[in-house]
Amino acid sequence: MKRASETKLNNIASKKTANNKEVVLAAIQQDSRRLRLVSEQLRGDREIVLAAVQQNGNALKYVDKKLRSDKEVVLAAVRSRGYALEDASEELRADREVVLAAVQQYGGALENASEDLRRDREVVLAAVRNHGRALQFASEELRADREVVFAAVSKRVYVLYLSEDLYVLTYASPTLQNDRELVLSAVNNLWMSLVFVSEEFKDDKEIVLAAIKHDATKLRYASPKLKNDREVVLAAIRRYGDALEYASKELKGDIEIVLAAVRSCGKALKYATEELRRDREVVLAAVKKDGNALQYATEELRGDREVVLAAVQQDGFALQYASEELRRDREVVLAAICNHEFALEYASKKLINDKNLILSIINSTTEKQKKVLLGLTLKYASEKLKGDKEIVLDAVQRNSFILQYATEELRGDREVVLTAIQQYEGALKYASKELKEDKKFLIECYRKNNDIRKYNDFLKEFIEEFDKLENGHFDDTFIEDNVDILHLVENKEQLCQYLLDNEKYKIIHENEVIAEYIKDKYKVIILSYGIIDPENEHDRDELENEHKNINIGFQVIFIL
């Protein structure tokens, strides 16, 4: 249960609470953003405002305009969040002490400093030492100051991803952008991309090595000479094998380079020369790293059993790139589906339709895998296999949804469908229309799985009414509409007594099982001759013969 004080804090927007200084003060000490909900009067209260900006400087944006010119308030805000400087008054954005405090907390706050302070060397140095990106907000004169620029690019940046506005050396003067020491420092600390450096530096081995240390794909911007340099290319592909794409044609045909690439990233095989894509050692190394690299091997090696086995053991889906012959190889397919069951999709149709072969493969897997594999087998198999009752029964016992892949005939088979529904009531969705409309069958399903009532509203209502019969609550309308299923009621004695007491003789007569039960239990026979014509000799004879066949002690009730 919430405490009263917490309730007040959450209701701070109410008129009464928003003007209660004690409650508001407690609220903003927990979350300064609540300042935006208080009354205008309290947003001008110095004590409350100070408490808010000390907790989070961002609250300055909700403060009364007058207090945004209060140096103590603004200093407290920018020391908490440097970017709060943007909400300070113009006068304080030109105050050296305030701006220094702001850029020391967040260098980018320099953007909101006055023009004069963006020309102040001490202020700008403080800003770029905090965050190199602040260099873009410095005056043109200071962006040409080597010490300032060096300070900006000397501290390593840690970001999830790089964007062009982080490449701060691009904000330096053209002269300093061509200063080798600055470029090397910037590249080393991620403040500069090889994309933006001059052609001279793209041919500088130390700078290029520094660039690919962080991002191997930057090899693409290196000079042709360095793309052909073994040391540079090896450094790139060991970090990211796909960087082989940017190596020279000569090195794409170098077995040492290519082996290093595919061991780092199997699919780098794509960029190797054709000669190396048919080299068994290279291809084996590639598929052991990434089975799907098999797609880049030559046709001959995609038919090599050892290579393909290595590929599917690494990634079962690599089976799709194997030769037709190997896609119907029992050992290869088993290795693939043991890695990933859905790889069966890529097995040869001839194999999938071979009942004995596919079952031998499936039976070699875990129980969990069998559930998936039996379904996939039926999904991709021929109509003959989909109509195999033995396989379908085995399948739906493990995974009822597999029923959807069976033939129409088996989806109308009571045993198959009942087995599926016993596992999960939702399998009824895939049963034939006839079974879905068969009330006797639905009751049978209900006996096996009580959750069948969840299937739809009709079934829910039908089962509820049937349950009432089971529990001795008899509804004449439901009884008359469902004569053919009355014998399925487990409490037959109570139902039959009700039918006899209420002279429901026609209903009894129409359900043979109920009629037989009453005959045995109550010694009552219900007979129906339609309209009897007393003048008709034949009718009279039939009536007399019926009486002769009835055992002594039985009560006979005629429905006329």
Q: Which two tokens stand for residue 265?
A: 């990233």
**For the residues 229-250, what does the mean pLDDT come to?**
96
**For the residues 508-513, what does the mean pLDDT come to?**
88
Using CA atoms, how far apart are residues 462 and 484, in angstroms rounded to an integer? 14
Residue 530 clears pLDDT 60, i.e. is over it: no
Residue 553 clears pLDDT 60, i.e. is over it: no
**Per-residue confidence band for 544, with pLDDT thresholds at 50, 70 and 90:** low
Q: Is 159 within a domain?
A: no
Of 186 and 3, more confident: 186
Do residues 444 and 461 both lie within one domain? Answer: no
Exposed, middle or buried: residue 53 (CB in 10 Å: 0-12, 13-18, 19+)? Answer: buried
**Per-residue confidence band for 375, with pLDDT thresholds at 50, 70 and 90:** confident
Q: pTM for the complete prediction?
A: 0.67
Q: Is 540 within a domain?
A: yes
Minimum mean pLDDT range among 262-266, 372-376, 530-534: 530-534
Do residues 462 and 422 both lie within one domain? Answer: no
Do residues 474 and 549 both lie within one domain? Answer: yes
Q: Which residue do the tokens 């009751």 mark?
A: 443
3-state helix, strand, coil in the chain (%, to 5): 70, 0, 25
Q: Is 26 within a domain?
A: no
Give exposure, 260-296, as e/b (b: 16+ Cβ within 10 Å): bbbbbbbbbbbbbbeebbebeebbbbbbbbbbbbbbb
Residue 164: the pLDDT is 45
**For the residues 221-241, what does the mean pLDDT come to?**
96
Do residues 460 and 560 both lie within one domain? Answer: yes
Tally the domains of the chain: 2
Do residues 468 and 493 both lie within one domain? Answer: yes
Contact in structure between 358 and 352 (CB atoms under 8 Å): yes
Do residues 446 and 462 both lie within one domain? Answer: no
Do residues 559 and 462 both lie within one domain? Answer: yes
Q: Is 476 within a domain?
A: yes
Instruction: Describe the crossing of helices 180-188 and 205-214 by its angle, rounded to 10 degrees.
Output: 20
Using CA atoms, how far apart are residues 404 and 422, in angstroms rounded to an integer? 15
Residue 456: the pLDDT is 83
**For the residues 507-521, what does the mean pLDDT come to?**
87
Do residues 482 and 393 both lie within one domain? Answer: no
Q: Which of 407, 435, 451 delimits the end of a domain?
A: 451
Residue 84 clears pLDDT 80, i.e. is over it: yes
Q: Which of 451, 478, 503 delimits the end of a domain?
A: 451
Do residues 369 and 466 both lie within one domain? Answer: no
Q: Is 486 within a domain?
A: yes
pLDDT tens-digit readout, 13-59: 454 555 667 777 777 777 777 777 777 788 788 888 888 888 888 88
Q: Which of 451, 474, 508 delimits the end of a domain?
A: 451
Q: Is 222 within a domain?
A: no
Q: Is 469 within a domain?
A: yes
What value does the CA radius of gyration of the chain take, rounded to a whole number of Å?
Answer: 42
Domain that holds residue 554: 456-560
Residue 501 clears pLDDT 70, i.e. is over it: yes
pLDDT tens-digit readout, 271-280: 999 999 999 9
Do residues 509 and 542 both lie within one domain? Answer: yes
Using CA atoms, how far apart are residues 411 and 406, in angstroms rounded to an integer? 6
Give me the chain's average pLDDT, please: 87
Q: Is 412 within a domain?
A: yes
Do residues 435 and 420 both lie within one domain? Answer: yes
Distances (CA, A) of 188 to 14, 64, 127, 245: 55, 46, 20, 23
Residue 1 clears pLDDT 70, i.e. is over it: no
Residue 101: the pLDDT is 97
Distances (CA, A) of 541 to 385, 392, 530, 537, 545: 59, 56, 15, 6, 6
Phi-psi label, residue 113: left if phi above 0, alpha if psi -120 to 50, beta otherwise: beta
Dihedral of alpha carbons 158, 76, 8, 5, sign: positive
Of 48-52, 187-191, 325-329, 491-495, highest mean pLDDT: 325-329
Q: What is the full DSSP assignment across 234-256?
A: HHHHHH-GGGGGGS-HHHHT-HH
Using CA atoms, how far apart are residues 345 and 367, in angstroms rounded to an integer? 19
Do residues 419 and 491 both lie within one domain? Answer: no
